Chain A
């Protein structure tokens, strides 16, 4: 059986870039503890600091403003914990501000952390989004007040791809004296990101979403803003993140970013074209569907679409049997009973959220892949709808 294998789940994770793979192989013997003073340690340390400079310069930061973490999730957890630390030291650093504001479409590593902090007494407020998943700037202006210490808004949403006007949001947040964090895990390396231009105080990025290794993330912390480590007990990362550095991960991340710098712009144009071909063909060949996310302020490779009367897990698994890998916002695929919180936050009906499919393309996606999807997807949807108790062609399907 030589069925075509088409990977369209790049927002979940990506394969290693061949150049990253090579750099990892070359660095595999670099075992020295970067904290050691001898040659072995110094060599590892040297590589890490070189990587830090590359990564920093890619997002317009200074090397000293980059902290390596074990993941994007860890970086996000770190930022939220700074603003809920009840110690008098941290409280005074924050000027007494102890409230956190986030959007309703953040990644679970922000949402769940905020929920936990809320249970421990931190006040958390939530920003709503419109039907495209965009934060309403007017409502942000009204909501940020004197007690809010941190506002966190993700730069690009992992499910629907919608991108926010981060610069404008940061400006509003700063005008009220609060600090601003953006989870840019889905943005860095896909669309231009410059921390000085955007004027953000904290920014999270991750390796494995951009063809780097898993288990490595980084947090940008603007010089001079309050900080409190999540992981303690070592002087690594200038005391801001304890634990022996992941030398290989850091080298891989730097290489991934170096390659992104070279390939990103061209790839953006190419993916936008592929997405247009795909979305037009889907719209032409499949009735009763709904595209989620913003039509233009969106990641170039992300397309999220809901099919009336067809359940997402069934779509995902039928496509998987045809060799196509996508993801879904259906409850059945997540292990919980609720469909995607992001789609619900955009006001989409639960029945449409259960029938959503996310197609996320990447650097290895070709026109042949897209043509294959265009051939297979309508058949799969038809098969499911033919046995669906909840589908009526052109009817009110929900």
Chain B
């Protein structure tokens, strides 16, 4: 019988059962850059380390460790393969959508599990820039306040969308934006549409 009852794609399954590039011994790994994101209280945490060929400006190796679910494990495993040989700029641009595509698709409610890997990768790249006296290259994760009353940023809206907010009401439930003066409704709705397209369109 084929494994028709497996919940996710076959590719995800193979990366889940045989995850690649796990960081077994952190002390023995001379990383050029290291990124840690997430929080185990929220159910997931990720460490990504990279080695960089300085002259070529390329990632030559990538290892990781995670406290996370099957999708987090598999998406980071595949990410660690994808980035080898990529330029730092290329790697920085990788999105959860790219990873999900490479995995053969992810259910919508699992997209947020795959965002930690690329987030940690960007943190590792930024860490590399800092260590190598290139702070001007550090790209701040974009964050602009959209809802002034409740202090909600576009990054938080994007996060909420990835966590499954599909309507303005659900966005409000998750972020509390627009619950005071309501002036940000149009802007938030526009972002909701933009991020939904970015992360969920086929």
Contact = CB atoms under 8 A, between A and B. Distances in A.
Interface in B1-57: 7, 16-17, 19, 22, 24, 36, 40-47
A350 B113 contact: no
A321 B40 contact: no
Contacts of B22: 386-387
B65 A389 contact: yes
Interface stretch (B68-76, B93-101, B185-193): B68-76
A102 B160 CA distance: 31
Interface in B129-186: 163
Interface in A364-398: 386-391, 398
Nearest to A388: B67
Contact of A311 (B24, B65, B67, B112): B67
Contact of A313 (B45, B70, B112): B70
B69 A332 contact: yes
A337 B163 contact: yes
A386 B65 CA distance: 8
A350 B7 contact: no
A362 B67 CA distance: 31
A314 B44 CA distance: 11
Contacts of A312: 69
B109 interface: yes
Given A317-B16, A388-B66, A311 B44 contact: yes
A389 B43 contact: no
Contacts of A389: 36, 45-47, 65-67
Contacts of A318: 16-17
Interface string A207-244: 00000000000000000000000000000000000000
Contacts of A317: 7, 16, 69-70
A333 interface: yes
Interface string A312-326: 111001100100000
Interface in A154-199: none
Helix, strand, loop or mixed for chain B's interface?
mixed
A133 interface: no
A269 to B, nearest CB: 34
Contacts of B67: 309-311, 388-391
B43 A321 contact: no
A350 B69 contact: no
B75 to A, nearest CB: 13
A335 B109 contact: yes
Contacts of A311: 43-44, 67-69, 72
A96 B47 CA distance: 59
Contacts of A70: none
Contacts of B73: 314, 387
Residue in A312, A333, A351, A387 whose Cβ sees the most chain B Cβ within 10 Å: A387
A378 to B, nearest CB: 17
Contacts of B65: 387-389
A339 interface: yes
Nearest to B68: A311
Contacts of A388: 65-67
Contacts of A351: 40-41
A96 to B, nearest CB: 35
Residue in B16, B65, B67 whose Cβ sees the most chain A Cβ within 10 Å: B67
A397 to B, nearest CB: 8
B16 to A, nearest CB: 7
Contacts of A313: 69-70
A322 to B, nearest CB: 10
A389 B35 CA distance: 12
A388 B112 CA distance: 18
A347 interface: no
Interface of A: 309-314, 317-318, 321, 330-333, 335, 337, 339, 349-351, 354, 386-391, 398
14 contacts: A309-B67, A311-B67, A313-B70, A314-B70, A317-B70, A331-B43, A332-B68, A332-B113, A349-B41, A386-B24, A388-B67, A389-B65, A390-B45, A390-B67
- 10 pairs of A and B residues whose beta carbons are closest in the complex: A390-B67, A332-B69, A313-B69, A389-B65, A351-B40, A390-B40, A350-B41, A354-B43, A389-B47, A387-B22
Given A318-B16, A349-B41, 8 more contacts: A311-B72, A314-B69, A314-B73, A350-B41, A354-B40, A387-B65, A389-B46, A390-B67
